[in-house]
A = this chain, B = another copy of it.
Amino acid sequence: MDMPTSPGVSDNCRRMSSVLSLVGDKWTVMIVMVLVERPRRFNDIKRTIGGISQQMLTRTLKALDRDGMVSRTVHPTVPPQVEYALTGLGHSLAEPLRALGAWAGAHLEEIDGNRLRYDLVRRVAPDAGR
């Protein structure tokens, strides 16, 4: 039986697990969002993100380079300068990422309220006798 509109739940699962190994990493997403504007140098990225250790920055950038998401350009100057830029692939990822960010901005407050309410209800107990 052909499923035109619902092409397989478990199929989507596999696909999602793949993409999650990418975007599941918070630093990956951060870096992509930072570089989507313009290319930046190592410490520039580090400062902009603020809160990332240089080890994680190195690791993540290397992974992104490996995936072909960012390009790494070394300028053989006296103090070595390395510039990172999003590739076309990287930019293409930035789009759905931005959609996710937009969703977050639109619903984070609502979620926060939900959590508060949920916690209140559970704290004060279901209150059987009222």
Residue numbers of A with Cβ under 8 A of B are 6, 9-10, 12-13, 15-20, 22-26, 29-30, 33-34, 37, 48-50, 65-69, 89, 92-93, 95-97, 99-105, 107-108, 110-111, 114-115, 118-119
Contacts and interface: CB of A to CB of B under 8 A. Distances in A.
B104 A16 contact: yes
Contacts of A33: 9, 12-13, 16
A16 B29 contact: yes
B104 A15 contact: yes
A48 B10 contact: yes
A101 B67 contact: no
Contact of A110 (B6, B34, B49, B89): B89
B26 A26 contact: no
A96 B89 contact: no
B37 A13 contact: no
A48 B9 contact: yes
Contacts of A68: 110-111, 114, 118
